[in-house]
Amino acid sequence: MCGIVGYIGREPAAPYLIEGLTRLEYRGYDSAGVAVLNSKGKTTRVRTAGRVRALESALPARLSGTVGIGHTRWATHGPAEERNAHPHASVSGRINVVHNGIIDNAANLRSALSDAGVELSSDTDTEAVAHLIAQSTADSLEEAVLDTLAKVSGTYALAVTDEAHPDRIVVARSGSPLIIGVGDEEMFLASDVAALVRHTNRVVHLEDGELATITSSGFRTFDRSRNDTDRSPIEISVAAEDLELSGYEHYMLKEMREQPAAAQDCMRGRLDERFATARLDGLELDARELRGFDRVKILGCGSAYYVGQIGAQMIEDLARIPADAEAASEFRYRRPIIEPRTLYVAVSQSGETADTAFAVNEIRRKGGRVIGLVNAVGSTIAREVDGGIYLHAGPEIAVASTKALTNMGISFALLALHLGRLHDLSFADGQRIIRGLQRVPEQIQEILDQESEFEQIVTDLAKARSAFYIGRVRGFPVAREGAQKLKEISYIHAEAYQTSELKHGPLALIEPSMPTVAIIPQDDLTDRNVAAAEQVLARRGPLVAITHASVDLGNLPVSTIVVPQNEPELDPILLTIPTQILAYRTAIALGHDVDKPRNLAKSVTVE
């Protein structure tokens, strides 16, 4: 949530800030702003409600200054108005601050500032930080920031400029990502490497509790006890062209079309046909340790949670050990019992999802073993877990996850295969799963090639105000993910139910204006799924079946989307692809911005 950028060097800062904010806009896009320090130590601050392009249009024709910070916002405190946009400034304008995260004690801090005669100009938690830094009597900006952090509780990534110290930007991190980019006599700052890759491939990931002073000639990292932490830059492999639209109308469309190649990248070097298993060296757990786990607990949020449910079923099917998935956002608040013989799996595309990162911390604090399925090398979760599986999906910009989600499903299949072969999965079944995985990329392509056939279904779905998605066992998390996609980018209310639960309440809502999307694979529950479809049709409910060619729907008046059949354990990966296309094309039909749906952001770094 929210994007931070910063620049200090020899060149005008404003173009770097606007470019970086544009690249980070998927992290928040209800308002944006910049603060630029000129050579005389005076700050020009410009803020607008709305997208970064509105901010760019509002900038002065000549905005000099080689030091600056910028921010694109996802609102947590106060509506999307200019007065709530970052950067926030002290009363005199000397101090400017951009902030990601949430200051938990903001109400008390704001009240104390008001009582002291400070006139607050926004509804935000961040403004309090700017005033507190300005009130500090410390001799340096670093000490003033440290004084303020001693009064603050919550999560933050902060970047601060000071007209009294125009040669530096001071930054701090606790629970929200912050990255320093190292250039040649210029330094960059961002909350995501996407804002840096055009200018440098050398970065420093700040750890929780760290601060840094950034000047044009270098940086110094230190902790809150003022001890140097001596961070060294690492090289990143993300290329600028990976972040371009490359001729596609939307990032979501581009990323859907990239799924066959991304799936191959995810499996490359990991399928061991000789021993009918998966090679997952990144787990950092040997065979003896893995056999010692009696249970698997998967933690994720949103789509990652739903694909975690798919993964749990795969693990139970192939490894025959109990597995389940839980929303990471609820996990630590129920005082969980961390079991030493449970393998915990944290799932996050960005590797920065705050609720999932907090769950990882809770597990580690209580002595549990946790691995990660993440897409971002060097991310918070990737650094905190004991080992893991990188998704190798490449950068994903659209808020609605597609290729990363698919690679999560494939990664769970690899993990389930690996665990299965360490338990009782036969060599023949291991080979069967490997052959199935090898077919997945071409089968995804086959589904994508059918996109034009969705036209009439999309036309009908776009007229609905609500929809049901239903599925059983392996199909239920597919239904949950499908409903999530539809609601988040088309704004049509959608709800997922187990097919078996229809008759226990939801059937009362079935009528001609309420379409149902049913997941009906060819498996041992096909007859019961078809029977449920007939119950919907008997109540004149429109029905769309995502199904296999071998499923006999007779002469039922059903709109069908046929998916190529794979092994039963792997079918959910493929059944999910049509739900992406349905959501995308429905949103387009309704004229919505599919890459930046209202009220949502890509990387959820606040609670």
For the annotated catalytic residues, the residue numbers are 2, 602
Q: What is the DSSP string of 507-527?
A: GGG-STT--EEEEE-SSTTHH
Q: Which amino acid is at 225?
A: S
- List Cβ<8 Å contacts ≥24 apart for 37-41: 37/13, 37/65, 37/66, 37/67, 37/68, 37/161, 37/163, 37/166, 38/64, 38/65, 39/64, 39/65, 39/66, 41/163, 41/164, 41/166
- Do residues 33 and 156 lie in contact, with contact meaning Cβ atoms separated by under 8 Å? no
Q: What is the DSSP string of 245-262?
A: -TT-S-HHHHHHHTHHHH
How far lies 255's CA from each of 74, 266, 395, 529, 581, in Å?
23, 15, 9, 31, 11
Helix axes 427-448, 259-267, angle to 10 degrees: 160
Nearest residue to 354 via CA among 387, 377, 332: 332
- Do residues 239 and 31 lie in contact, with contact meaning Cβ atoms separated by under 8 Å? no
In angstroms, how far is CA 183 from the centroid of its own chain?
28
- Do residues 349 and 401 lie in contact, with contact meaning Cβ atoms separated by under 8 Å? yes
Rounded Cα gap, residues 163 and 121, in angstroms: 20
